[in-house]
Amino acid sequence: MAPNTASTALWPAPHASGAVDATVHVPGSKSVTNRALVLAALASEPGWLRRPLRSRDTLLMAGALRAMGVEIEETVSSSSSGGGAGEAWRVLPTGLRGPATVDVGNAGTVMRFLPPVAALADGPIRFDGDPRSYERPLHGVIDALRRLGARIDDDGRGALPLTVHGGGALDGGPVSIDASSSSQFVSALLLSGPRFNQGVEVRHTGTALPSMPHIRMTVDMLRAVGAQVDTPESGGEPNVWRVTPGALLGRDLTIEPDLSNAQPFLAAALITGGKVLIPDWPARTTQPGDRLREIFTEMGGSCDLTEFGLVFTGSGAVHGIDVDLSDVGELTPGIAAVAALADSPSTLRGVAHLRLHETDRLAALTKEINELGGDVTETADGLHIRPRTLHGGTFHTYEDHRMATAGAIIGLAVEGVRIENVATTAKTLPDFPELWTGMLGQ
């Protein structure tokens, strides 16, 4: 069981005395690591993950797959194809077994990607998690799996806790869902789709679908392990994805750095007029964090993608922004923090679904920035942020890793900010406090 990250401890957020100038090695992507684990577990041969993220969300994913019989060996490799030395996970897929119990913590990727995997196991898989996991939407996955042939016991709310009674196989076929509350519903069904008897055809019928880059990440990673996937972008119908049944290859994959977790460090360069190098920034990626190059440039910085990585430089000026973040919702807390320090107002749009993330992020950002003297209002689908002179105080984090890093960004520019439960960053970036003080040379 992963550690409970709840704590009332206060962390004095370091204040920057000048422009930062640092190289920050950002650990692997949560989204890529957890997809790679699922695909490796479903493959017909062993596979490798090089430089995987080791954080609460990914250890929960590995633990859940192990509970279903998958072997995941941890090694320190001396070399890898393109990855260099570092940690590696070797995944040895086996027939998926039940009964088992899965702790999802508050990981959207675990609670959504694994019920379809559990439907392929040969016994009951019980899913439970943090109190917040009971409130996060899961109906798209539960309803779809039932229509595709799975037996699931839940308490009728379309949410956790629940038991998937794996029958060793699943019919699959066409299914319609409303994924407007989470793109992870679509990703979940596609990831296991090659292992369903008829594959799967997922049709999104709701209003706007958030986080499209994450769906592209799912499709790209499926194709990389040999799956055939038809998408709207490859000439298919709008909002329809089709996965053909077939065996998946075991691959040797080096995990990219988590570009959304690079955000606070780029923000540090932006707001202090400094410079940060993020090594291994991929030249081509589906990660939503890549949009930061454009967004933080519009907010006053500049960037250069070099052979060493991404060099991001602040100009000393920080501008407000009017931006639709529906594709890149997980970047919202960090952008809101920078916007609170800008020289003009900002409007962040297209992110109503953030109310059902780790916490209600729109309410949490509004309350916490305003309690430091800010002027933020919630809109139907985002935030209006009018910069004010901020003062120190306690920044509450609601067990949300991105609230903690947002508070740290503000603390760089505002003296006396104390972050409650900075340990909650362990969800995706356990080393955050050390990386942050290291960046500041402290």
Ligand X SMILES: C=C(OP(=O)(O)O)C(=O)O
Binding site for ligand X (CB under 6 A): 107-109, 330, 357-358, 402, 428
Q: Is residue 187 a contact residue for ligand S3P (CB under 6 A)?
A: yes
Size of the site for ligand S3P (CB under 6 A): 13
For ligand X, which is the closer residue by CB, 170 or 266? 266
Give dist(CA 321, CA 295) in Å, integer.
8
Q: Please tell me whether 211 is known to bind a ligand.
A: yes
For ligand S3P, which is the closer residue by CB, 163 or 184? 184
What Cα–Cα distance (Å) separates residue 105 from each residue in 149, 307, 308, 332?
A: 27, 38, 36, 22
- Cis amide bond preceding 161, omega within 30: yes
Q: Please tell me whether 157 is known to bind a ligand.
A: no
Q: Which of residues 321-350 bind ligand S3P (CB under 6 A)?
A: 329-330
DSSP 256: P
Amino acid at position 130, single letter: D
Least separation in angstroms between residue 109's CB and ligand S3P is 5
Give dist(CA 133, CA 161) in Å, integer.
8
**Strand-pair category, 240-243 with 47-50:** unpaired
Give dist(CA 54, CA 75) in Å, integer.
13
Least separation in angstroms between residue 215's CB and ligand S3P is 8
In sequence order, what are the residues at sequence separation of 6 or more whose Cβ sits closer than 8 angstroms to the Cβ of residue 260?
A: 29, 287, 288, 289, 330, 331, 428
Least separation in angstroms between residue 357's CB and ligand X is 4
For ligand X, which is the closer residue by CB, 20 or 162? 162
- Report the largest interatomic distance among the alpha carbons of the chain, rounded to a whole angstrom: 61
Q: How many CB atoms lie within 10 A of CB 233?
A: 12
Q: Which of 51, 195, 204, 214 binds ligand S3P (CB under 6 A)?
A: 214
Least separation in angstroms between residue 184's CB and ligand S3P is 5
Pick what 289 binds: ligand X, ligand S3P, none; C-beta below 5 to 8 Å, kind-dependent: none
The token pair that represents 95 in the structure block: 């027939």
Active-site choice (330, 358, 368, 399): 330
Give dist(CA 405, CA 427) in Å, integer.
12
For ligand S3P, which is the closer residue by CB, 211 or 263? 211
For ligand X, which is the closer residue by CB, 90 or 355? 355
Give me the residue label for tokens 């000048």: 18
Give dist(CA 272, CA 300) in Å, integer.
11
Q: Please tell me whether 182 is known to bind a ligand.
A: yes
Q: Please tell me whether 108 is known to bind a ligand.
A: yes
| Residue 13 and residue 412 in contact, taking contact as beta carbons nearer than 8 Å | yes
Give dist(CA 280, CA 198) in Å, integer.
39
Ordered alpha helix ranges (H), 279-400: 292-298, 332-339, 361-371
Q: Which of residues 143-182 bind ligand S3P (CB under 6 A)?
A: 182
The verdict on whether 71 is a catalytic residue reads no
Least separation in angstroms between residue 102's CB and ligand X is 15
Pick what 261 binds: ligand X, ligand S3P, none; C-beta below 5 to 8 Å, kind-dependent: none
Q: Is residue 183 a contact residue for ligand S3P (CB under 6 A)?
A: yes
Q: Please tell me whether 30 is known to bind a ligand.
A: yes
For ligand S3P, which is the closer residue by CB, 141 or 417? 141
Q: Is residue 211 a contact residue for ligand S3P (CB under 6 A)?
A: yes
The site string for ligand S3P over 100-119 (x = CB under 6 A, - otherwise) reads --------xx----------
| Residue 69 and residue 93 in contact, taking contact as beta carbons nearer than 8 Å | no
Q: Which residues are annotated as a binding site for phosphoenolpyruvate?
A: 30, 108, 136, 184, 361, 402, 427
Q: Which residues are at the interface with ligand S3P (CB under 6 A)?
A: 31, 108-109, 182-184, 187, 210-211, 214, 329-330, 353
List the catalytic residues.
Answer: 330
